[in-house]
Amino acid sequence: MNDTIDLIRRFYDAFNRADWNGMLDLMDEHVAHDVNQGGREVGRARFAAFLERMNVSYTEQVKNLVVMANEKGDRAAAEYGLHGVYKATDDGLPLAQGQTYVLPGGAFFDIAGGKITRVSTYFNLEDWLAQVRRVDVD
């Protein structure tokens, strides 16, 4: 259980450093990634492509991370605050103008052989849309 908690913490530490290779090293070759309000992508190469796409439009940090794991250490969950900047317009989404956002987020993990074999992420898309659509008036 403690090894699993450490693995997930290292995953988010790498995320916060934008160390994509560090994140990928913690994942199984055939990792399943359930994209928030999207489909399932399979494979470390697909996850790497996802990270590259996200890096173009967003700069994000995970804060106030809480990680939980079952006794066997083969399942874990993380809850956090996602602090970000919407820096370039993502396909099909509102115009990016450097809007900042803060969202509660979470993820669920399967673990095998000391590697992440599944990550399912969640945040409230409607909350995010409301934050990036706001107009700040000076």
Could you list the mean pLDDT of each consecutive 10-residue stretch along the chain, which spans 138 residues?
93 95 96 88 94 93 96 96 93 90 96 96 92 69
User: Distance of alpha carbon 32 from its chain centroid, rounded?
Assistant: 13
Q: What pLDDT is attached to residue 39?
A: 84
N- to C-terminal Cα distance for the chain? 50
CB-hemisphere CA count at 13 Å for 88? Answer: 8
Quote the pLDDT of residue 138: 43
Q: What is the DSSP string of 104-117?
A: EEEEEEEEETTEEE
User: Residue 34: which region, alpha, beta or left (left: phi > 0; alpha: psi -120 to 50)?
Assistant: beta
Q: Which CATH class is domain 2-133?
A: alpha beta
Model pTM? 0.90
pLDDT at 135: 60
